[in-house]
Structure 1
């Protein structure tokens, strides 16, 4: 489990980009290298990872995205994002995206702590409905079920995996109190 003396979670601002970009690039490259289904296939170049984070920081700057980062001392060990629906009929909802935890730091409760923190960030922004998806059978699927997310359904052969197979994706939602 997470040792509170060592792990901290911070909400990131747009002006933090230059300072955090190297650690976030390394986090994304590590996550992709582990075969996690996060939209990228290994090997992930530094340039492609950097471009991804630059777009993410644009969302932080325009207020459409929340980015949380977990640290162990000064090292980035995880992150998660919340994409806020911006249309008038969707201001009550958001999509949880890109839960990343370094391979070496998994099974310490960091993912769960990030999910709890992103749910709180959603509440603070008046969001009462969260949606997310994950590859069927991944550890993340078990995490989301444990955190009381409800399965909507599975789309088979949704995403190409690092091994070359087409894997199903499970969609979930959670209503926040």
Structure 2
């Protein structure tokens, strides 16, 4: 059964905790969403608070995907640029699908929903994201229409002696 996506859902305690659980489950399954396993909800909470603060200031929009049980199963945060010369594109951050739902096409569905949401924002012509090299994410994003437009070798240190590339991807919307 497909996920149900909502842009700007009401931030209830249930949603907040669902996003926090999703983020910790994805991280602990090896997902590259800003942490390296093992990680606790309490270690992730400050990063979620930053997203929530940006949402309350109107700088970030949450796209949440819920499964048939009403559980948070996927997220992406669309963040506006504040620089006056870069307001025509948005960043896509914290793109996650719960491990129990991976392999069902929900990642593609999430990216399509994010593109649709961005197309609905006035003046937005592209989506930009970064991903951690070494996981094959570049191939996945490319298969969804994103193009690699830059790479910083060794920019992400996941552990001493384990550096990964920071890969910059772009999806033109027009």
Q: Same fold (TM over 0.5)?
A: yes
TM-score (norm 2): 0.89
Aligned partner of 1:138 in structure 2 is: 135
> Distance between the aligned counterparts of 1:21 and 1:131, measured in 2?
25
Q: CA deviation at 1:80?
A: 0.8
Q: Deviations over 1:36-75 (max 9, x none)?
A: 2221122222222222222211111111111111111211
Number of residue equivalences:
172
The alpha carbon displacement at 1:122 in A equals 1.2
Relative distance call for 1:17 and 1:51 in structure 2 (3 A) is farther
Of the three residues 60, 77, 83, the one matched with 2:73 is 77
Report the Cα distance in structure 2 between the residues aligned to 1:107 and 1:162, rounded to whole angstroms: 28
Which segment is superposed worse, 128-137 or 154-163? 154-163
Q: Of residues 41, 46, 58 in structure 2, which corresponds to 1:51?
A: 46
Contact 1:35 1:161 survives alignment (8 Å):
no
Equivalent residue for 1:157? 154
1:60 aligns to what SS in structure 2? helix
Aligned position for 1:37:
32
TM-score of the superposed pair, with normalisation by structure 1: 0.88
Deviation at 1:162, TM superposition (A): 6.3
Contact 2:134 2:164 in 1 (8 A): no
Q: Which runs of 5+ in 1 are unaligned?
A: none
Which residues in structure 2 correspond to 1:1-177 (within 5 Å)?
3-4=1-2, 7-13=3-9, 15-73=10-68, 74-126=70-122, 127-161=124-158, 165-177=162-174
When the two chains are superposed, the root-mean-square deviation of aligned CA atoms in Å is 1.8
Q: For residues 118 and 103 of structure 2, what CA distance do their matches in structure 1 show?
A: 24
- Tell me, which stretches of 5 or more residues in structure 2 are unaligned? none
Separation in 2, partners of 1:22, 1:159: 28
CA contact (8 A) 2:138 2:148 kept: no
**Higher percent of residues as helix:** 1
